[in-house]
């Protein structure tokens, strides 16, 4: 059995606004799903040079500058910086780095962190995200391995991660998300550019999609892409805001469905997974985290799917197969 760990700590409560969607309360709810017996690893802070692997120097300096002033600063209507935000976001990136190193060394590891990261672009903070944790971890991993895959199952498209690796053939980025919602990117024809052409795969699904739709995309698009790419490390941008009870969701996933997605990733690669928390705001988020760990520990068998994927999902997969072959 492959070992599992969780990386989290009290530092992540210091970037906080009560009653904001992205508050420390949602991380507490997620961490409640970590099963007994899972080692909890204290996070380590990322160095500035780690952040600069994917972000511009001016962006890093801007977040530091806003934090140094104290008080509360809104970068956009939903993304804020407070006095300790630079430090907290650096710890989030450091936890993601630790998770990917642990996975390369043979251990499933879940960085349960905040603020999330996948919307953060090289020179822009947005969508609650200050630094792109998963992208920083992938860039760090490329010092040790040749190819990294990032699977993003958050409700929203990871525009920042896509932009960072858009021209890089060493990183395969696969995102399944609800189409035509924030940040209004992640369309089927966004497949990368230059050397990176064909290494971005986006599946923007219609509202009301179920695990039958997600599983169809994974089986017919993501898993074949992983098998062809043969990554040396796999990072999951693990946002569970596609749950049916999540206030942001138009999808119909349930906690156990995240066991299915996790198990499919395990079966598609020989490598342990590094997971990095993204979104997730609903009451069953902790149950979804527990379901993910159930699969990581090997105590979940892949079940036969119930229901059929929507016709639009089948059309998306057919289009993806034409674009990426």
> For 181-220, where are the E strands, in sequence order?
200-205
The predicted structure's pLDDT at residue 301: 66
The predicted structure's pLDDT at residue 323: 84
- pLDDT of 173 higher than 90: yes
31-46: pLDDT as tens digits: 999 999 999 999 999 9
- pLDDT of 290 higher than 90: yes
The predicted structure's pLDDT at residue 322: 87
| Sequence-separated (6 or more) residues with CB below 8 Å from residue 149 | 171, 172, 173, 174, 226, 229, 231, 233, 234, 235, 269
Going by pLDDT thresholds of 50, 70 and 90, the confidence category of residue 270 is: confident
Residues 130, 133, 135, 138, Cα dihedral to 10°: 160
Count Cβ neighbours within 10 Å for each residue of 12-35 and write b for 16 or more, e otherwise. Answer: beebbeeeeebbbebbebbbebbe
DSSP assignment letter at 10: G
Helix (H, G, I), strand (E, B) or coil at 322: helix
Q: Angle CA(248)–CA(252)–CA(253) in degrees, nearest 5?
A: 95
Catalytic residues: 119
99-133: pLDDT as tens digits: 999 999 999 999 999 999 999 999 999 999 999 99
User: Domain 12-323 carries which CATH code?
Assistant: 3.40.800.20
Alpha carbon distance 66, 82 (integer Å): 7
Cut 0.75: pTM above it: yes
């Amino acid at each position: 059995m492959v070992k599992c760990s969780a990386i989290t700590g009290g530092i992540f409560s210091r970037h906080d606004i009560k009653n904001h969607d992205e508050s420390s309360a949602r991380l507490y709810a997620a961490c409640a799903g970590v099963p007994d017996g899972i080692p909890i690893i204290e996070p380590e802070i990322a160095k500035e040079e780690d952040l600069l692997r994917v972000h511009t120097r001016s962006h890093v300096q801007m977040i530091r500058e806003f934090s140094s002033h104290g008080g509360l600063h809104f970068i956009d209507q939903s993304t804020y910086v407070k006095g300790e935000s630079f430090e907290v976001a650096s710890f989030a990136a450091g936890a993601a780095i630790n998770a990917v190193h642990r996975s390369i060394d043979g251990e499933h590891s879940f960085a349960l962190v905040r603020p999330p990261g996948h919307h953060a672009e090289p020179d822009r903070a947005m969508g609650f995200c200050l630094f792109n944790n998963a992208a920083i971890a992938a860039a760090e991993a490329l010092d040790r391995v040749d190819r990294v895959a990032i699977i993003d199952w958050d409700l929203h498209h990871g525009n920042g991660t896509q932009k960072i690796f858009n021209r890089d053939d060493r990183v395969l980025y696969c995102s399944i998300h609800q189409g035509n919602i924030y940040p209004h990117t992640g369309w089927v024809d966004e497949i990368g550019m230059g050397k990176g052409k064909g290494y971005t795969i986006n599946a923007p699904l219609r509202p009301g999609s179920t695990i039958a739709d997600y599983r169809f995309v994974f089986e017919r698009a993501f898993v074949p892409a992983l098998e062809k790419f043969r990554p040396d490390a796999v990072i999951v941008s693990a946002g569970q805001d596609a749950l049916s009870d999540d206030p942001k969701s138009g999808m119909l996933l349930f906690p156990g469905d995240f066991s299915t997605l996790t198990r499919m990733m395990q079966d598609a690669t020989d490598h342990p997974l590094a997971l990095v928390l993204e979104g997730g705001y609903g009451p069953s988020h902790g149950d979804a985290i527990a379901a993910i760990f159930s699969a990581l520990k090997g105590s979940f068998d892949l079940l036969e799917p119930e229901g059929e994927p929507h016709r639009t999902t089948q059309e998306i997969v057919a289009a993806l197969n034409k674009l990426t072959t």
